[in-house]
Amino acid sequence: MSEFLHLGLREKFISAARKSNILARECKNCKSIMLETTIYCPKCQGDKFNLVEYMGIGKVNTFTIHTVPPEGFDDVESYAWVVFTLDEVPLRVSGFLPGIKFPSELPIGSKVQVIGFDERHGLLLHKL
């Protein structure tokens, strides 16, 4: 049953991303916030959640730049895989930011925004 529930959440996560949001879960027991991919609360092991959408805007924590994309990513010349923390809640999320070639183009603390979802690349980001 949890696999069925998880599959429905994937579509909701993608739908939220296409509205520039991040779908998260709030534990009904301890109020911890986590990504929708979590099945049990890591803090209290609760399994009852409220779904909450947050604006997909945050600050870059770290990133990896790929100037020679691997096979299957040949639709972009270069990109950064970015880990960022949402502005609204202390939740870390990662996503795909095309067009980044040098670290100077994406200083730590830069603002990024979720702009969609791609089956190949996952969360799509835009530098603000």
Model confidence over 39-58: pLDDT tens digits? 889 999 999 999 999 999 99
In order of their start, the domains of the chain are 2-55 (no CATH), 57-127 (2.40.50)
Q: Cβ(115)–Cβ(124) under 8 Å?
A: yes
Q: List pLDDT tens digits, range 52-98.
A: 999 999 999 999 999 987 887 778 889 999 999 999 999 999 999 99
State percent of the chain over pLDDT 90.
Answer: 77
pTM summary value: 0.88
Please give the pLDDT value at position 69: 77
Beta carbons within 8 Å of 52's beta carbon, 6+ residues apart: 23, 24, 25, 26, 33
